[in-house]
Amino acid sequence: MRKTIVVFILLGLISLFADMTYEGALSIRGSYLEIIGAPIIVAGLINIGWLVSYGSRFLSGVLSDYLRKPIILWVLTVTGYLINVIVVPLLALTNRWELVLVLIVLERFGKGLRAPARDVILAEVSEGIGKGLGFGVHETMDQAGAVLGPLLASLILVASNQDYPRVFLMLGVPGVIAVVLAIIAWSMYPQPSSLSTRKSMLGFKGLTRSYYMYTAGFFLFSLGFISWDIISYHAKNIGLRGDYIALLYSIAMLVDGLLAVPSGLLYDRIGMKSTILAPLASMAAGIAFTVFIDRNPLIMAFTWGLTMGVFETNIRVAVSDLVPAEKRAFAYGFYGLVEGLAMLVGGVIQSILIAENAILLAVYIVITEFSSLIVFYRI
């Protein structure tokens, strides 16, 4: 029990430092694309990275489920963090949007490799304290990095007169720390039992009807959820400074982090019904973006962070309660593949709509999120 708590804390610290790297870069990459002359459709196409990420999550889940060796969970986890720490600093070496897009896709591939494997380990070491609370605490630590990374990016931009390449280089440092901590956690907990003590169940057999309904609702949610790349590109396009955009993202991540534990506790108390908060918050964020981005962007940042707080905790932890323990790796992988496809399609649609008329974008978001809410409510 004591060792699992230490590993649980280490997993939180790993996510903290890794998110300093990733979220710091994410907070400014949309505005960076605007600076280097990329068309706005590219901000939507960045979601190809989400598709690749969640495609690799599916691959990671299948590999874990098929090979049934605990070492696979750790190999995928550590490799994913290693890719993260290599790719982000490489963004400093190019000002061509095509290469930026390729690097973002590579970084998302690494994220996809590690996430399902990490979530299986996290669900296992969280069982002693309650999975909702466990995922909530983990999300809080994760979001501490998501606040600090963009804040660091903002400070560097101010100090360096908007030198984006310098930001990308400096963000590599916390990524190195994350890799080192992941190796330490591996050495302390080399044999997760979710794979080692249960019979293999490769494929869709064993997945429940509720899981499929949930995945459908999540697909609709992801179609409507507006990405920060589109937000930051548009914000830069209307004249906001890069450091202020990064600061807005840091504020959104602070809201996300503060909400994570209460959101997780709410899940432990009322279960799946708590997931309806995610589409409600996403509707509010979409409307705030179209109405307040040029007048009071803090409202937009707050509602977007609110959405992330529910999404990253309740939406993610629910998967583990909808399938048998031995199917978690595969279930997380498939769920991620569905999200990636929805994020790509939704991102392209959103970038086209925002270029035409912001009101059309708001209507689209309300329709998709309300549809998602209905599905979640019926599970």
Residuewise pLDDT in 10s, the chain (379 residues): 578 888 888 999 999 999 999 999 999 998 999 999 999 888 888 888 878 887 787 777 677 766 667 788 888 899 999 998 899 999 999 889 999 999 999 998 998 888 878 877 887 887 777 767 777 788 778 878 989 999 999 999 999 999 999 999 999 999 999 999 999 999 988 877 655 555 545 567 778 889 999 999 999 999 999 989 999 998 998 889 989 999 999 999 899 878 877 887 888 888 888 889 999 999 999 999 988 888 889 999 999 999 988 887 777 778 878 888 777 767 877 887 888 889 889 999 999 998 888 889 999 999 999 999 999 988 8
CA distance 219 to 274: 17
Whose tokens are 């050495």? That residue is 187
pLDDT for 311:
81
pLDDT for 60:
77
pLDDT for 95:
87
pLDDT for 1:
59
pLDDT for 273:
85
Tell me the CATH number of domain 2-196+205-378, given options 1.20.1250.20, 1.10.3720.10, 3.30.2130.10, 1.25.40.10: 1.20.1250.20
